[in-house]
Structure 1
Amino acid sequence: MAAILALSACQPSSPPGDSAPDAQAQAPGSEPPAGSDPGKPPAEDPTSGAISTEPMAPTAPDSGLPTDWPLAKVSSGTARISCQADYNTEQGDGEPLESLAFFSVVDALSPCQKGGVLRLRYEGKIASDFTDLVVRVSDIAARMGIEKRILDIDSAGGQVEDAIKAGDAIGATRWTIWVREDSVCHSACVFVLGAGDNRMISGRVGVHRIIRMSSTATTRSELNQELRGVYTRVKDYLERNGVAVAVADLMMTVPNRRLRLLSKNELQEYGLDGTNAAQDDLDRLQLMRRCGEDFVQRRDAFMRRFDIDCKAPNADLDAMQACGLALRERYQFPDGKCPADSPFSEFDRTEEASAAP
């Protein structure tokens, strides 16, 4: 959920779209058919690759990129742009976005500028074009001042390195990640989920072992040596996003042909559901300076009660939103001094935009 900055044209150190790695690690997987045993093998992802051995620093989209972006389009799935937080509206999942050219993204996001709310619905594989999609939409949303951003995702997985790059871009640009009741987030998608400032999960989340499809290993020892670097990188990524490294352990032990679905309790225990703990610490420090200690205490009390009262198992987004909006008054939100920082402030902006002549 995000805000509007004018479309400036500063020169970046590097353009978007050049994120395709020389080598990638893959965590293929797919949702088991309805009524099937989740422990049975998921459908195989036909692509392959190997993860690079060079250290990978956190990445984030440059702000002020020029308009001559490298050619790119969404090809590993489908993307749609909506200016509503939920899909149960006349707008539904919004308008398709395929071309990732500068002005194509500008045109797609422009209707969302007034209300300050953007929902990106993505269905498909995590690959380099997904990373381009996240980076470019984040950049234009920041220029336009669209402060409330939701990634509404349905993905059975894909390339680990692309997921981590997309996750770092998400973590730098303040997104909520939503896995709705008719969607899944499996395998590499879990890295994207972990990067969100907030995660709202009604669908299924699952993990399994990472595999190097281009591996030349002939023994378990050789295979373990190859995966050791992957494991270290994954742990570092999870730690900086406030996710338990136990998730990495699961990804090393669950056979690739199986899928380990995570329960609601496990999602919370591993730091994959609700507020991102790492971002929350940073937000608390900034909010304390900007809005005062009383605001932070009321916000914390609200979030604890929201988790108890509103996040019931299998609750859909409409129910959670209605519960949260009703709960705000008890904790004196929206706050007079800091309305934009108050819980569910995106709905205040949406209502104001709808009421405007």
Structure 2
Amino acid sequence: MFRPSVSLLPVVLLAALAGCTRQAPEERTQTMMRAADAAPPSETAPAVPARAQEAEADEVDVRRTTRWPVARLTSGQARISCTLDYAATGDGAALTSLEFFSVLDAMSPCQDAGVVRLSYDGKIAADFTDLVKRVAAMADRMGIRKRVLDLNSSGGQVEDAIAAGDDIGQAGWTIWVREGAVCHSSCVLVLAAGDNRMVAGEVGIHRMMRVRSKATTRAELSRELQDIYAEVKDYLQRNGVAIAIADVMMTVPNRSLRLLTAEEMARYGLSGPNAAQDDLNRIALIRKCGEAFVWRKDAFAQAYAQECERQGRDVDEVNTCGMKLRERFGFPDEKCPDESPLSEYDAGLALLPVAPAGGGSRAGR
């Protein structure tokens, strides 16, 4: 569950409230929270002072304070957009700072839109984990429930990918690998964590190893790899992905790359809805909306796949088919409209269908 929306005033209004004198970050935070009159209870707790050492950033829960530790994005480029229509609008404004008010300013237009799309092009490293954690924390504050991580990465550190994936798995992200984009090596672990995975670009795997390995013999390297792959398998299992993919990785030399087919990604659980999250959602849905609702939703999903997602249909035809099909199954449901199929269309927000693997160029990059 996401926290209710917290109304955050525009920067221009904050400046007016502050008068002609520029406020210190602490004063600016207090002014914003008083004016909004909606600060979460955690904001009243003693603030944790900002730290200059990036390595200590994890000591502070960025969901509970506005005084975020210093963190710099150096491993890639990030952009924030408040629309999912990348073909028409591109990828939005560059996010160059991970400081609280920089993220706030970048995401403020997304509060009314109800959706944020974070585009990331670069390596998977500790600063990538900081990025997704802070954007999700701000989305929680703003009540933004639709979150898309638009990913293009050749990989990076295994440990960083697992850390980022664990944060992503708790924050309700849909992950895109768009046409023309890649998700290679440890990026596949990040992909595994999404609530839903929409893939049109390349997904590739190979043998993973620690760049800072201290192994000097094959035996030492083997023991180290066993530790890594035990951790990877545990991670994949808790994200609903077949652990067999880890065994396949072991067979591909680190200097090589094996591209996965759409059929393999579906078989291993790396595309479409996340099986583990789907189970959790189903349990929560039965509690909230009842078993009859869930049965109707399952029946709708089967009919939608058979009648609306036929090859050769364009987007408008699929949308029209789906909306008509909803009526046949009694959706949107009066008790649970937001949980009804295609509810994103009711709010004017639609996750864009992605072209089949091997599609055209990556628009907006």
Q: TM-score if structure 2 supplies the norm length?
A: 0.77
SS at match of 1:339: coil
Residue 87 of structure 2 corresponds to: 88
Residue 222 of structure 1 corresponds to: 220
1:46-96 CA-to-partner distances (Å, cap 9, x unmatched) read xxxxxxxxxxxxx9994642222111232211111111123123x321111
> What does 1:243-258 correspond to in 2, within 5 Å?
243-258=241-256
Distance 1:15 1:262 in 2: 45
> What does 1:162-241 correspond to in 2, within 5 Å?
162-241=160-239
The more displaced of 298-307 and 243-252 is 298-307
Is 2:146 the counterpart of 1:148? yes
Change (3 A) 1:246 1:93: same
Residue 124 of structure 1 corresponds to: 122
Residue 268 of structure 2 corresponds to: 270
Change (3 A) 1:288 1:179: same
Distance 1:314 1:234 in 2: 38
Change (3 A) 1:331 1:98: farther
Change (3 A) 1:114 1:286: same
Instruction: Find 2:344's aligned residue among 322, 343, 346.
Output: 346
- Fraction of identical pairs, as percent: 57
CA contact (8 A) 2:48 2:65 kept: no
- 1:114: how far off? 1.2
Residue 136 of structure 1 corresponds to: 134
Distance 2:60 2:174 in 1: 17
CA contact (8 A) 1:127 1:163 kept: yes
Distance 1:219 1:315 in 2: 56
Which runs of no fewer than 5 residues in structure 1 stay unpaired? 22-58, 353-357
Is 2:315 the counterpart of 1:296? no
Instruction: Find 2:113's aligned residue among 112, 115, 126.
Output: 115
SS at match of 1:341: coil
- 1:3: how far off? 7.0
- 1:218: how far off? 3.2
- 1:327: how far off? 5.0
Change (3 A) 1:258 1:132: same
- 1:167: how far off? 0.7
Distance 1:127 1:316 in 2: 38
The more displaced of 4-13 and 165-174 is 4-13
Relative contact order (alpha carbons < 8 A, sep ≥ 6): 1 or 2 greater? 1
Q: Alignment length, in residue pairs? A: 314
Change (3 A) 1:159 1:310: farther
The more displaced of 342-351 and 77-86 is 342-351
Letter in 2 for 1:65: R
Q: TM-score if structure 1 supplies the norm length?
A: 0.78
Distance 1:61 1:236 in 2: 26
Residue 73 of structure 1 corresponds to: 72
CA contact (8 A) 1:76 1:124 kept: yes
- 1:213: how far off? 2.4
Distance 1:314 1:123 in 2: 31
* Rg (Cα) greater in structure: 2
Distance 1:19 1:331 in 2: 52
The more displaced of 172-181 and 321-330 is 321-330
CA contact (8 A) 2:173 2:196 kept: yes
Letter in 2 for 1:73: R
CA contact (8 A) 1:175 1:196 kept: yes
Change (3 A) 1:295 1:102: same
CA contact (8 A) 2:209 2:228 kept: no
SS at match of 2:198: strand
Which runs of no fewer than 5 residues in structure 2 stay unpaired? 7-38, 351-365
The more displaced of 334-343 and 246-255 is 334-343
Cα RMSD over matched residues? 3.2
Distance 1:337 1:231 in 2: 45
Change (3 A) 1:314 1:246: farther
- 1:336: how far off? 2.4
Distance 1:319 1:271 in 2: 28
Instruction: Find 1:260's aligned residue among 255, 258, 262.
Output: 258
- 1:162: how far off? 1.0
CA contact (8 A) 2:54 2:71 kept: no
CA contact (8 A) 1:61 1:169 kept: no
1:91-134 CA-to-partner distances (Å, cap 9, x unmatched) read 32111111010111111111111121111111111111110000
Distance 1:317 1:192 in 2: 28
Letter in 2 for 1:195: A
Distance 2:249 2:163 in 1: 18
Q: Hey, which of these two has a bigger chunk of helix by percent?
A: 2
CA contact (8 A) 1:155 1:186 kept: yes
Change (3 A) 1:296 1:266: same
CA contact (8 A) 1:2 1:117 kept: no
Letter in 2 for 1:112: C
Letter in 2 for 1:148: K
Instruction: Find 1:280's aligned residue among 275, 278, 281.
Output: 278
Residue 5 of structure 1 corresponds to: 5
> What does 1:27-38 correspond to in 2, within 5 Å?
none
